[in-house]
């Protein structure tokens, strides 16, 4: 274990913990590695979402009602 790692207590639902134990055994990895990988994946998706929001910030807004009316007018719904 790296000297740069930090310890934390996490409480898992028993079924999730069982799944993690099995996956850790099957993949010859630790539960910590699996959790770290999953969290990095989720945080990466969040970063992608934030980047997409920034790129689209200058786009005009449209209300839901106007969108539905436009879709109906175009025969899409």
Question: What digits encode the pLDDT tens for the residues 26-49?
Answer: 999 999 999 999 999 999 999 999
For residue 42, give every residue at least 6 positions away whose Cβ sits within 8 Å of its Cβ, in sequence order, or none: none
CA atoms lying within 13 Å on the CB side of residue 57: 6
- Give the pLDDT of residue 28: 98
At 4, the pLDDT band (50, 70, 90 cuts) reads confident
- Give the pLDDT of residue 2: 64
Percent of the chain scoring above 70 in pLDDT: 97
The DSSP annotation for 3-69 comes to TT------PPPHHHHHHHHHHHHHHT--HHHHHHHHHHHHHHHHHHHHHHHHHTTTSPP--HHHHHH
Percent of the chain scoring above 90 in pLDDT: 92
């Amino acid at each position: 274990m790296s000297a740069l790692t930090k310890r934390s207590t996490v409480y898992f639902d028993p079924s999730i913990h069982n799944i993690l134990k099995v996956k850790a055994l099957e993949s010859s990895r630790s539960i910590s590695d699996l959790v770290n990988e999953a969290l990095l994946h989720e945080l990466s998706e969040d970063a992608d979402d934030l980047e997409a929001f920034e790129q689209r910030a200058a786009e005009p807004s449209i209300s839901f009602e106007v969108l539905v009316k436009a879709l109906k007018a175009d025969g899409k719904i």
